[in-house]
Structures are given as structure tokens and as C-alpha cells.
């Protein structure tokens, strides 16, 4: 039986779309139980609805504190096998991450450990790197510090605007996330310390 995932989003949802498309075309043996957004107007919700996937909006502003907000997320996720952060713009608490230890996967638009946190593509562009890329990793208690599953690289050019570099990286994100999720779905990932072994 395919593993069930919950996907947390905050925005346009192009990575969510990549997952949906790869499930639809048979590449990815996963079932999306629910897409949860913390932003009521996230376009990701429309994408999920169009694909017939259950959605929920859990607006942080409507919760007194982080604990009650995350409790609602847990309740809404139900008994999924894993969680994918696909452009989810909030930092999860240590207790939430502990509950889902080694079961949360994030996509970050930089070659970690460089350029963690917000505006990673701008950070890379401002720094003047010649290669940039994206990282799919398990989430640990730090920000963008967990065990790396896979990375993809793109060239970065002097003439690049932040948006041009971001668009080049995004194309690779749409390949990297489904590929990493396929490995996870097929039980091919083994976390050893902070390293991930990909089984043959």
C-alpha cells in the first residue's frame, strides 16, 4: 500500500503541483491525504482542489499560540506516514518536529548548508556564487539543517537577477522533490547520524 502524506504549504504551490503531476503520471507511489495551508489565499489550495485533494486552511492568526496552531495541524493530518513542507513559510516547534522525527521532508532553494532561512536565492545572488541549486532534506530542530536527501545544481551568472536565478532553481526543485519523495516512498532512505544513505 502506498504511503500517505500531508503537505504543508503557504503560497503558489508549484512544488505541490510537481508532486501531484508525478503521482498522476505514475512516477510517485504516494497518496496525498490532505494539503494544509496557513494562508487562506494560497494558490496551492486551488491546485489541490482542482486535483480533488482534501484541503484545510489553518490560519495562525486564529490560534492563541503556536501549540494550539500545531495541535490543529496534527489533528488535521491524522495518521499520515510523513509530512512534506512545500513552500511552508513557518518554523515548526521542536515538539512538533520530535513527534514527526525523520518523517518531515523540506525543499529549500539553495545548496545547503549555504544560504539557510528566508530569501535563499537572493542570498546566493548577492553573494555572487557561480553555482546554485536546491536541497531536499529531512527536517530537524534547526532551520534548514537536517539530513540531506538530494541536491541539484544550476549555474549562476553575474547578470542574473534574483528572479532569474530563482526561476532556474525552481525548475530543478520540481524534479528534486518528486525524486526524493520516490526514494522515501520506496523505503530507500536510511538516516545514519546526519547523513542519508540511498539504498540500491
108 is catalytic: yes
**Least gap, CB of 159 to ligand GRF (angstroms):** 21
Q: Is 55 in the site for ligand GRF (CB under 6 A)?
A: no
What's the Cα-to-Cα distance from 171 to each of 91, 103, 114, 187, rounded to whole Å? 24, 25, 19, 25
> Which one of the spans 13-21, 32-40, 74-82, 111-119 is the region binding ligand GRF (CB under 6 A)?
13-21
Pick between residue 33 and residue 135 the one whose CB is nearest to ligand GRF.
135
Candidates 6, 82, 87, 146: give the one binding ligand GRF (CB under 6 A): 87
CB-based burial, 105-126: b 16+ in 10 Å, e otherwise? bbbbbbbbeebeeeebbebbbe
**Least gap, CB of 110 to ligand GRF (angstroms):** 8
- Collapsing DSSP to helix, strand or coil, 109 comes out as coil
Q: Is 146 in the site for ligand GRF (CB under 6 A)?
A: no
d(CA 176, CA 162): 20
**Nine-digit cell string for 72:** 490543529
Residue number with the shortest CB distance to ligand GRF? 87
**Nearest Cα to Cα of residue 4 among 26, 24, 33:** 33
> Which one of the spans 11-19, 33-41, 45-53, 125-133 is the region binding ligand GRF (CB under 6 A)?
11-19
Which amino acids are annotated catalytic? 108
Amino acid at each position: 500500500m502506498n504511503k500517505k502524506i500531508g503537505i504543508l504549504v503557504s503560497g503558489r504551490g508549484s512544488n505541490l503541483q510537481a508532486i501531484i503531476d508525478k503521482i498522476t503520471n505514475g512516477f510517485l507511489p504516494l497518496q496525498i491525504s490532505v494539503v494544509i495551508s496557513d494562508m487562506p489565499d494560497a494558490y496551492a489550495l486551488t491546485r489541490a482542489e482542482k486535483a480533488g485533494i482534501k484541503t484545510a486552511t489553518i490560519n495562525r492568526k486564529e490560534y492563541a499560540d503556536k501549540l494550539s496552531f500545531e495541535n490543529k495541524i496534527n489533528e488535521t493530518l491524522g495518521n499520515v506516514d510523513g509530512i512534506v513542507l512545500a513552500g511552508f513559510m513557518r518554523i515548526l516547534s521542536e515538539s512538533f518536529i520530535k513527534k514527526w522525527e525523520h518523517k518531515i521532508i523540506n525543499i529549500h532553494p539553495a545548496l545547503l548548508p549555504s544560504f539557510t532561512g528566508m530569501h535563499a536565492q537572493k542570498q546566493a545572488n548577492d553573494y555572487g556564487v557561480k553555482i546554485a541549486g536546491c536541497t531536499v532534506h529531512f527536517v530537524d530542530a534547526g532551520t534548514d539543517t537536517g539530513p540531506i536527501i538530494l541536491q541539484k545544481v544550476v549555474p549562476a551568472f553575474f547578470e542574473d537577477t534574483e528572479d532569474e536565478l530563482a526561476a532556474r532553481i525552481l525548475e530543478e526543485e520540481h524534479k528534486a522533490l518528486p525524486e526524493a519523495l520516490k526514494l522515501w516512498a520506496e523505503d530507500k532512505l536510511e538516516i545514519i547520524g546526519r547523513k542519508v544513505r540511498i539504498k540500491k
